[in-house]
C-alpha cells in the first residue's frame, strides 16, 4: 500500500506541503503516522518539525513553524509574532479544511509585505503560504492560492 493511501492524504495536499517547505530553501523529507494532518512530520535540514493543527485565531509559537489550519468553525486570524522576537524565523501554513478565510496580520507596527493591513487570501483547501521575518518586517516567501 502506498504511503499516500496509508495516511489518507490527497496527492495535491502532500505536494502543496512539500512546496511550502521547499520555500525554506532546505532539503525536505516527509513521514506520517495515522490519518490526520496534526501527525505529519517534516524533516527540514535534519530537524524534525511536527505540523501543529489550529482551528481558531492564534499567534504562532516561536518554537514551531509548520501549521495546518481549519476554518470549518469560522474565519481565522493569524497574528504574526513581534518582529523583535522573530528575526530570521519562517512559518508555513496550509489550509486543510475550509469554511471561511484565513487572515494574516503582523504584530504592532510591523508590516507584512509592506502593509499593516491584514492579508485574507487563504480560503480554499490546499491554499498555502510561507512567511519570513527579517527582524524589521514580515514577508511572504511563497503563496499558493487556488
pTM: 0.70
From CA 112, how far away is CA 129, in angstroms rounded? 12
State mean pLDDT over 45-69: 85
Quickly list H helices, 1-144: 3-7, 11-22
- Check residue 101 and give its pLDDT: 94
Say which range, 26-40, 44-58, 88-102, 113-127, has the weakest mean pLDDT: 26-40
Residue 39 has pLDDT above 50, yes or no: no
Q: What is the DSSP letter of 38?
A: G
Confidence band, pLDDT 50/70/90 cuts, at residue 121: confident
What is the rounded end-to-end Cα distance, in angstroms, of the chain? Answer: 30
Residue 4 has pLDDT above 70, yes or no: no
- Please give the residue that has the higher pLDDT: either 80 or 29: 80
Residue 80 has pLDDT above 60, yes or no: yes
Amino acid at each position: 500500500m502506498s504511503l499516500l493511501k496509508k495516511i489518507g492524504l490527497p496527492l495535491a495536499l502532500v505536494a502543496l506541503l512539500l512546496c511550502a517547505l521547499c520555500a525554506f530553501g532546505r532539503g525536505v523529507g516527509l513521514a506520517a503516522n495515522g490519518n490526520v494532518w496534526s501527525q505529519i512530520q517534516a524533516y527540514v535540514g535534519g530537524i524534525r518539525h511536527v505540523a501543529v493543527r489550529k482551528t481558531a485565531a492564534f499567534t504562532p509559537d516561536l518554537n514551531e513553524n509548520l501549521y495546518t489550519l481549519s476554518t470549518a468553525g469560522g474565519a481565522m486570524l493569524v497574528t504574526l509574532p513581534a518582529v523583535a522576537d522573530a528575526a530570521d524565523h519562517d512559518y508555513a501554513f496550509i489550509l486543510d479544511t475550509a469554511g471561511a478565510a484565513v487572515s494574516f496580520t503582523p504584530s504592532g507596527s510591523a508590516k507584512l509585505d509592506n502593509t499593516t493591513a491584514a492579508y485574507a487570501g487563504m480560503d480554499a483547501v490546499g491554499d498555502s503560504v510561507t512567511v519570513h521575518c527579517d527582524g524589521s518586517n514580515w514577508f511572504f516567501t511563497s503563496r499558493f492560492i487556488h
